[in-house]
Amino acid sequence: MKIARISPMGFTPGKLAYHSFIRGGTGADYHQNPEFHQFADGELLLHWNAYDFDECSGGLVKLFSTSRDRGLTWSDPQVYMADFPGGVPYYALTLRLRDTNQALMLLNQSVHHAIEVDESRRVATAGSDYFKSKTRIFLRRSADGGRFFDHGVEIPCLSISGGKALPGVEFYGSADCLIQLGSGRLVAGFTFMDPARVDVAKRYQHYTGACLLSDDQGRTWRRSGEIHVDTTRGVMEIQFAETNPETEPGRLFCLFRTAGGCLHQTESLDGGQTWSPSRPSPLPAPESMARMTKLRSGKLLVVWNNVSSKTQFPRHPLVAALSADGGRTWGSPRVIAVESGTNQLSNHNLIQLDDGRILVAISHYHDIRPMTSDLDLALFDEAWLNGA
């Protein structure tokens, strides 16, 4: 299958490299929601969503490409995952378990209420009704570090929502984050449309966060306390990291998207079992996702749109910042990319590679007809983040 030919990118230590990976309209109108996984031998996997018209389109597939030189050259994209009858395979979070060759995948599939499209203009004229859409989440296992997975088992959705069911569909939400702590504990973060906080008649959405915890490599799970915020639409796209297991055992720091003009934050002091009341972070943001990871240096890295807005606009510029104290304070942001107007640099993801470099994949949305979304790559190191 010939979808595209990916051109190589270069890199200079201490510098930012930026590259157009695949253009919107090549294979699909939109390329977005990238996710990374690096295998034990250093090979890198990038997979992402490709679709036409709308991200809730039932025709969405995941494409993938691999790199054997840590992000400089890439294979031609092929289909990674597609399941029209089972629903849109929107998120597929992958984690290789430490000191083993096992890996886990949390697969998020949603059957959306039918969208309406105008094919002549290549646009969606009516989006999915989330109150009529149903999400299922599956746990899949790999015995070879994440190259091949079994068919998995479904996680009972009410174990995530705490027994609260949406009328008609039971559960709508997503798996947002999956990490392994120094203790070996697995912490999986979810957000879900909360039946206790929505208004079905007015179609008012409100999301709550919760975690599932496992101390036996994912064989059994128990639910954490909930994460709440009172801003419009609630808690979205949570990201967390263990700060310092030696000096702060059990402390996790969490950032998440809100419609409150900034990212909000919370922390856990018991390995994800309970969470402090959420509060505004010092990071201004629109209603747009952030992505955060803990670097080998022990610092936290966050990549986000740093403009305060209580709407979803503007989703630019895209910046990166470091915290050397577990999220208590943040350094000056470094600009990864800029845009203008209602174009977007968002729906991104990041990974620190085994050689220390950081790779960010970015959905680059162009708000001109016909609307498209490219997938861009940014490659840099911690020296660039520190302004070297």
Whether 331 contacts 322, CB under 8 Å: yes
Using alpha carbons, select from 160, 37, 34 the residue that is nearest to residue 94. 37
Tens of pLDDT, residues 270-286: 999 999 999 999 999 99
CA 333 to chain centre: 20
Q: End-to-end distance of the chain based on CA atoms, in angstroms?
A: 43
- Give the span between the Cα atoms of 149 and 20, in whole angstroms: 30
Does residue 388 register a pLDDT over 70? no
- Give the span between the Cα atoms of 208 and 170, in whole angstroms: 15
- Give the span between the Cα atoms of 306 and 150, in whole angstroms: 40
Average per-residue pLDDT for the chain: 96
| Span 197-220, average pLDDT | 97
- Give the span between the Cα atoms of 302 and 177, in whole angstroms: 14
Omega of the bond leading into 314 within 30 degrees of 0 (cis): yes
Using alpha carbons, select from 274, 349, 259 the residue that is nearest to residue 304. 349
Q: Which residues pair with 294 in a beta bridge?
A: 300
More confident residue, 113 or 12: 12
Q: What is the DSSP string of 257-307?
A: E-SSSEEEEEEESSTTSS-PPPEEEEEE--S---EEEE-TTS-EEEEEE--
Give 286's contacts (C-beta < 8 A, 6+ positions apart): 261, 305, 307, 308, 309, 310, 311, 312, 313, 314, 315
Tokens of 308: 């305060």
Tens of pLDDT, residues 115-125: 888 888 878 88
Say what the pLDDT of residue 119 is.
81
Report the run of H or E that residue 158 belongs to, with start and end.
helix 157-161
Tokens of 183: 């203790």
Say what the pLDDT of residue 346 is.
98
| Span 43-54, average pLDDT | 96
| Span 29-48, average pLDDT | 97
Omega of the bond leading into 317 within 30 degrees of 0 (cis): yes
Give 47's contacts (C-beta < 8 A, 6+ positions apart): 34, 35, 62, 63, 64, 65, 80, 81, 92
Using alpha carbons, select from 276, 237, 285 the residue that is nearest to residue 253. 276
Say what the pLDDT of residue 381 is.
98
Whether 53 contacts 124, CB under 8 Å: yes
Q: Count other Cβ atoms within 10 Å, centred on residue 350.
A: 19
Tens of pLDDT, residues 139-190: 999 999 999 999 999 999 999 999 999 999 999 999 999 999 999 999 999 9
Tens of pLDDT, residues 235-249: 999 999 999 999 999
Omega of the bond leading into 249 within 30 degrees of 0 (cis): no
- pLDDT band of residue 108 (cuts 50, 70, 90) is very high
Whether 88 contacts 58, CB under 8 Å: yes
- Give the span between the Cα atoms of 39 and 215, in whole angstroms: 23
Give 249's contacts (C-beta < 8 A, 6+ positions apart): none
Question: Alpha-carbon Rg of the chain, whole angstroms?
Answer: 20
Say what the pLDDT of residue 123 is.
81
Residue with tokens 């999986």: 188
